[in-house]
Amino acid sequence: MTRLEEFTTGFEAHRDHLRAVAYRMLGSLSESDDAVQQTWLRASRANTDDVRNLGGWLTTVVARVCLNMLRARAARPETSLAVHMPDPIVSPVEGSDPAYQAELADSVGLALLVVLDRLTPDERLAFVLHDTFSVPFDEIASILSSTPAAARQLASRARRAVKQAPAPDRDPARQHEVVDAFFAASRDGDFEALVALLNPDVVLRSDGGPGRPDVSAVLRGAQQVAGNATAYAVYAPSARRALVNGMPGALIGTRQDPVAVLAFTVNDGMIVAIDVLADPDRLRALARSTWID
């Protein structure tokens, strides 16, 4: 076996892990694939004779690639004030195939990804690598060209922001019961029942895509969110259960005509966050690969 063949075998053994790192860093499935491909190109050309921990070394390489991508993204902020929703990972509630189960295990809730999107690139890298993948601060510091103390401070600031993300209940069955009740109340146009299912401080974030300000919005409060659900009650009968980043969710529409993906965060028996992707272009791309008929 040649050196390149040996390296390729080792790289493929770590591919899923590298994609998980990239997804948490970027919140985009296509960009995560690009980051892993760039990692392959860089790593395959490097001298790895002295590398003793290939997985750890590759993690630092993909982290550097993602950091550059995040910094480039930050340097050209969108002029639109529309909400941007990270890419969802959609899978069936039951009977997921092994590939989806593996991908789902590496996913994080959309509500948390939204919070991560608000961090600086350096904060996000420090938090993701240390708190999620247990990378030591001295290694993180070398990626950031800083000191371990500075890397620790970045992770600490990120951690404080992440604590703002709503934590889901631990009982999946209870979460699904609440979401099912939400759609039942929507179908019936029962405003009071909807309000009762929503935390008073519930937040709904909807990403309708570029040029659709009527669909892109952030709504806060049970009355506002219940009113929105009533306004869109026509879609409730077609909602189908799904897991969206491991959380109870729903698909509206069909593979040929996708309308929206919804992810719910349920805490203490009430819905505290609803994240909606309604961007037609992104939905069509998602439907081609993971839509559940």
CA distance 274 to 182: 11
Domain boundary among 162, 187, 202: 162
Q: Are 228 and 274 found together in one domain?
A: yes
Q: Is the pLDDT of residue 51 over 50?
A: yes
Q: Are 13 and 118 found together in one domain?
A: yes
* Structure-block tokens of residue 242: 């799904």
Residue 12 corresponds to which amino acid? E
pTM recorded for the entire structure = 0.88
In this prediction, residue 3 carries a pLDDT of 76
In this prediction, residue 276 carries a pLDDT of 96
What are the φ/ψ torsions at residue 270 (nearest 5 degrees)?
A: -130, 150
Average pLDDT, the chain: 90
Q: Degrees (nearest 5) of the Cα angle 109, 112, 115? A: 155
Q: Is the pLDDT of residue 79 over 50?
A: no
Q: 30-34, 171-175, 288-292 — which one is most confidently predicted on average? A: 30-34
Per the DSSP assignment, residues forming a β-bridge with 142 are none
In this prediction, residue 108 carries a pLDDT of 79
CA distance 260 to 177: 21
CA distance 140 to 130: 8
Domain that holds residue 104: 3-162
In this prediction, residue 290 carries a pLDDT of 81
Q: What is the CATH number of the domain that holds 255?
A: 3.10.450.50
Q: Would residue 255 count as lying in a domain?
A: yes
